[in-house]
Structure formats: C-alpha cells, structure tokens
Structure 1
C-alpha cells in the first residue's frame, strides 16, 4: 500500500509539475512521463533476475524500497529531476516483481485460492493509490510540488518499516542457488507457453498505450477541459486520480463474488476471454470521453462525466490487469517466480513507452478524436486477446502435464 502511495503520489504530480513548474511543452512532458513509467517497468525484469539468482526476495525488497525512498526525496530538488526519476526506476526494479511473487509463495501450486489472492492484493495496493492523490496531490497542488514529492518519500519509508516488521509472517525463503535455477527452468516454461505469453504481452502493450493515458493526457484534460466547480468548491485536479483506485476497492468484492458464483456453477470464464472483455469495457470508457469531447465543442464539460469514465474504465481494468498478473504468476517456475512476474511488468514497460508516444499526439487532435483513437487501441487489444484463447488452452494442457517443483 505504501509503495503505491509513494508511486501514485509522485505520478499524480509529475505531468503538472513538468508543465507548470519546469515549463515543459505538452508533447515533451507527455513523452517524459511515458519514458519514466516505461523505465519503472523495464528495470523489474533485471531486478527479478537479481532477486531470484543473487539477492533473495527479502533483501531485494529492502534494497529496492530504500533506493526508491531516496529517489522520491531527490525529487524535491529541481536540479536532480532526471537523476531522481532514474533512481526511483532502479529501486522499483528490485521491489515491484518480488512482492507479488511472495504473494504466490503463500499458496501451493494447485491451490484455487491463488488466483483470487491477486485480486485481494490488487485491492490492498490500490488503497495507497487512492490516498496518494488526495494527500500528496493536494499538498503539492496547494502548498508546493516539492512538498508533495517529499510526502511520497515518507510513504515509501513507512512501507519499508512495515515490511521489515512483518517479514516473520512470510513463508520461509529458499536462498538462490544456481543449480536449482538451472534444473527447474526448462521444466517450468515450454516453448508453447512462452509464445503465448509473448502474444499476451503484445496485446497488453497495445491496451496499455490507451490505459496509461489516465495519468497523462486524461489528467491534462481534467485541468483544461473539465468544469471542476462543485457547490462553490473547486475540486483539485489531482483528486480525479484517486477515482480509479477508489473504484478498484469498491468494485473488487462484488466482482469476486460474481466470479466465484460462476465458478461454482461451472461457468467460470477463461482468463484470456475475461481479459478481452476487460479491454472492450475500457474501449467503451474512452468512447464515452470521445462523445463528451465531440459534444462539448471546445467548451468545458461537467466533472461528473470524468467520474463516470473512471467507473467504466476501472471495471474493465479489473477484468484484465489482475487476471494477467495472476496468469503470469501461475505459469512461473518455482525458482524463477520473480523473473516470470517481472516479464508481466516488462509488458507494462512497452505499454508505457507506447503510451508516451501516443500521448505526445494530444495537442495535434481535438479531444474527441484523440479519445476515439484510444478506444480503437483498446478494441484492437481485445481482439488479439480473444484470438489467443485457444493457443493458451493448448499451452495450459502442456503446462499441467509438465512435472513441477515441490509446492510449499
């Protein structure tokens, strides 16, 4: 929760800080935003390998959290801006893939609760994502951007303290061993599974090119195209970034109950079909914004439309993102857990980089046309995920027949 508080606290301020404080142009700020979020999700593939082969999961998380905290505090100095972004990205590389891998370690491989656990985990981290724009965003917007960045660093230190204090509740960790990794890797991921995961990665890259605009061009539109007045109170623009994690917390329990009832009735939806439905729902969210943009005719529109957008977008997100993370974790070999989960975050890297490039087009399109483009990208991702369902079934059968290492 506190790691997400620090990340989303800084992210809620980043594009505004660049355009209002550093006076970057919109296209340049959007590209830097995309490049930073991409770097934050590229380093986990290296950090996951270090955690699996050298450091061990606990040491990787402690080192990563410490480095990230230092980077957040460096953000309080304008002269260290780029170095601070690089420092946060490096620390994130050790932290991000290792923590969800430890969630997977809490369950045996055949335990049906393993998949549900990642939705519960997703709610937990979104508590931090909800609080961050309200606290860091408000402080940064009203009292100074650097104070908001400093609060993000404090949040990261709190997360580190909680992890160290509660580490005794985690299952015993097997320290990295070269012989174990070498023996287990070929038995964990077959060629068919790897090809399917690459296909999923390409589809999710296209999806994230649209989804990641929520903190980029959608945030810019919230500042310039939305009437934020509500009963004589001007809603801070960063508060809208809290809607997504708020809806994650509110919607996850009923969605989990619905999926559980369907599974009990033998009608559980296949993971890739569920992910495809999620991408289509996100496409509908962007179509809503496109319609609002077209009808506004250059005028500001009511903030309620932005709330409705985040509601629909979050429903789609819950169908696709936790499901994809759980899918990668389920297919991970025992001693390559962090590395395989890191591959999921590598997809976020490519998607974030694509989002930065797409976001740089914002000033060249009318808002309605730009949001329609994002809807099209989400629909394309849905089609790709739907087509991968049968290959995934075949890879799953092969994976089930392959001997795995012993369960915890």
Structure 2
C-alpha cells in the first residue's frame, strides 16, 4: 500500500532548475557521487580474485581464521564437488558480484515505501564504507562482503532513479543524461585499478582496500553537500489518510512484462561481460605480457582499459547519434547490437591464443582490442537499459523495477562465477568460444523478439 507525497514535496518551487552544460546541476552531483562509489567498488573488484587466489583462500585453509569461510566452502563443494582455489574464488566472486545486484530490488522497495531515495543512498554509502574498511582484516572478509552487498542494495537503484527524476516526461535530454551519468561510473572505474590495484599489488592488499573505503567516504560527502540541487525527495510520506493506488493499466502491465523479458535476456549478457573482473583478470595476470619499454605494468591496470575506452567512444557515439537523429536504432535494437559486439570481442582472444603454448604470454594489445570491442557493446546496452527502465516504468514502481533490472544482473553475475569455475578445466580457446556463443546468442534472441518487445514497452 502506497502513501501520497506531502504537498511540500510536490511543490515545484522546491526543484532547483539551474542548468550546467544544458543539464540540471543535480545531474553532476549524482555524477560525482556515483564516480566515487564506483571508484570504491571497482577498486575492490580489481583486487578481489587475485587476493583470494594468491592469499586469502590459502590462508583460510591453513592457519588464519576467516569467520564463516569453512562453512561457505563446505556449502559450495556440497553443490559443485571439490573446488580448486581458482574455482572456489570464481564461485565467491560470482556470489558477491551477483548479490551486489540482487539487493537493489529491496533497496528500491525500501526507498519507494519507507525511506525515500536520498536516505537510502546515504545509508548505503555508510554501509559500503564500513565494508571496505573491514577488508583490512582477513578474519572479517565475509562480513565485509555482507556490508558491501547490503550497502550497494540501498545505493544502486536509488542513485539511478534520481537521474531520471531530474527530467520531465518526454524530455529528449534523458538518454544523454544517463550517458553522462555512465561517464561518472567509468571515471571512477578508470582510476580505481590504477590507485587501488597498484597499492594492493605492489604495497599490500589492505592498502588497496583502504583506498576504496576512502573513495566511498568522498562519495557520500559530495552527495550530502549537493542535495539542494536534487529537487524534491520523493519519499513516500503518510501525511493524512491512506490512499489506495489505482490499479495498473493494461499498458503498464505490458511495459512491466516487456522489461521482465529484457531482464531475462540481460542475464546472459552480464554473465559474459563480468568475466573481465574474474577469469579475464586471471588471464591478464598469468597469460598476458604487460611490459612496455622495459617496464611492467600491474596486471590490474587491465581493468582500467574498459572505462578508458568509454571516454573515447561516448563522444563518438553521441556525434553519430546527433548526425543520424532520425535514423537511430530503437533502444531494443541497440541492446541487440551490444550483445552481438560482446560476443565478437572474444573472437579476438580465440585468434590470439591459437597456437600459443600454455607457458607463453600474448601481448596486452590483444586484450586491449578485445576490451575495446566489448566496451562498445556495453555502451549499446547498459546505459540504454537504465534509461529504458526509468522511461517506461509506472512512476510509483520505478524504484522497484529499477531494482528488478539489477536483479537480472544478479543472476548474470552469479552465472559468471559459475562459468568461470570451468576456466582451468577447458582449453582457453574453448572457454572464450563458450563466452562468444552465449553473448551472440543473446543478441540474436533480442533481435528476433524485437517487434514484440517494442510493442510491450511502448518505447522507441
């Protein structure tokens, strides 16, 4: 049961209408908040699989107490059989990154019905900062992951919905706003492996995790200082009588059904894409030569390639879109193209490892080319999907449906961990071929169902 917003919250005079570069100032508050949050998330992610395979799992199995680890390992091995260090790390990686995208469903409901998006974002930021600092002690590894998972649940869906709320219905700037917001995500993602990854690999794991925690604190500070530019907080408040919401219309139910169908297909995209923090990071560490002019780069810098390419590609995509504004693909068409490009990227690695001995390493340029192609695919799917959810969701369910969209990413991320557990068991070519087929098949499915999906969501 939903409650009406107070009249104060509905007062348009409370919305700061000042613009910067053609967009509300609030967009840039959210941009920098998300930038620092992503700095913390991707800084930790850059180190996570390496930390587990090179230190934590061995320590947990010998003389170091890691609360709950033995129970978790026993549970996983009861389902999947004995797991090597790499396979166990992959399973934990998949569970963690998956649950990070599972909890936003409940974070969206919490914001829609109880706290409102602002308080939810602040709560999530504090929980995540605690989680990053808990990573400083091996004993609290799983507790740290729990804080990060719960914090992200409160933060993720609610920061994204606030971007859409800055614009009136039908505002043509909305898609570009999500692209700009996506740049904030990737600005943080670019610097985090360079800072956190280098500190973790060269000076000690906990220095890297500590830097991630500092980034999260900076994010919540930016958000607190910039709230006046975000307009009314659409918290649900009970100010008088409880009003039962009107039933959903047929069009709204069709939109929800279309989003669910796209969410199901979205699972396979993220199962493949998220290998970059899992098996591709291991490939970068053990099978890739990172020497340039006699100096060896830390392998975690690989994870800075994706956001770096986003900076290069977004202006190009925007320029092409502006030139062909009347001939653009629909949102669903772009998502099909994005999945196909993700599949194509792994053909590069199949070619690169062909005939290469297991003890030999390939040039990092091959991995860079693969990253360039799947980054282009990401730009055709991820920001477009976020914009689509905010555009077609019934207004009173937008937080929950944004959480539902991230729920599909939960299944995709968990599936990425399960798939990654076969990395050591398969020849590299076969493993990369599996990823290519999954991603290309997703694009084909979206393309085949494109007419039905467009009719359901009612969006171009």
Q: TM-score, normalised by structure 1?
A: 0.94
Kept after mapping to 2: 8 A contact 1:208/1:352:
yes
Kept after mapping to 2: 8 A contact 1:138/1:236:
yes
Aligned equivalents of 2:252, 2:223: Cα separation in 1 = 34
- Structure having the larger proportion of residues in helix: 1
1:357 counterpart (393, 409, 418): 418
Out of 102-111 and 166-175, give the one that drifted further.
166-175
1:227 counterpart (275, 289, 294): 289
Q: Deviations over 1:124-162 (max 9, x none)?
A: 111000000000000011000011001100000000000
Q: Deviations over 1:95-141 (max 9, x none)?
A: 00001100001101111111221111101111000000000000011
Aligned equivalents of 1:205, 1:79: Cα separation in 2 = 33
Q: CA deviation at 1:175?
A: 2.5
Kept after mapping to 2: 8 A contact 1:184/1:333:
no
Out of 330-339 and 40-49, give the one that drifted further.
330-339
Aligned equivalents of 1:3, 1:63: Cα separation in 2 = 13
Q: CA deviation at 1:191?
A: 2.9
Tell me which residue corresponds to 1:36.
96
Check 1:167–1:378 CA distance in 2 against 1; reply closer, same or farther (3 A cut).
same
The alignment of Structure 1 onto Structure 2 pairs a total of residues equal to: 397
Q: TM-score, normalised by structure 2?
A: 0.84
Q: CA deviation at 1:181?
A: 8.6
Cα RMSD (Å): 1.7
Matched, 1:100 2:134: no
Kept after mapping to 2: 8 A contact 1:189/1:333:
no
Matched, 1:123 2:183: yes
Out of 282-291 and 152-161, give the one that drifted further.
282-291
Check 1:38–1:185 CA distance in 2 against 1; reply closer, same or farther (3 A cut).
farther
Aligned equivalents of 1:47, 1:32: Cα separation in 2 = 22
Tell me which residue corresponds to 2:396.
335
Kept after mapping to 1: 8 A contact 2:252/2:394:
no
Matched, 1:216 2:250: no
Tell me which residue corresponds to 2:429.
368
Point out where structure 2 has 5 or more consecutive residues left out of the alignment: 1-34, 59-84
Kept after mapping to 2: 8 A contact 1:187/1:333:
no
Q: Deviations over 1:201-260 (max 9, x none)?
A: 111101111111000000000011111111110110100100101111221111012112
Tell me which residue corresponds to 1:249.
311
Matched, 1:273 2:333: yes
Kept after mapping to 2: 8 A contact 1:200/1:388:
no
Check 1:189–1:157 CA distance in 2 against 1; reply closer, same or farther (3 A cut).
farther
Tell me which residue corresponds to 1:139.
199
Matched, 1:152 2:212: yes
Aligned equivalents of 1:195, 1:260: Cα separation in 2 = 31
Which of structures 1 and 2 has the bigger CA Rg?
2
Aligned equivalents of 1:305, 1:382: Cα separation in 2 = 24
Tell me which residue corresponds to 1:170.
230
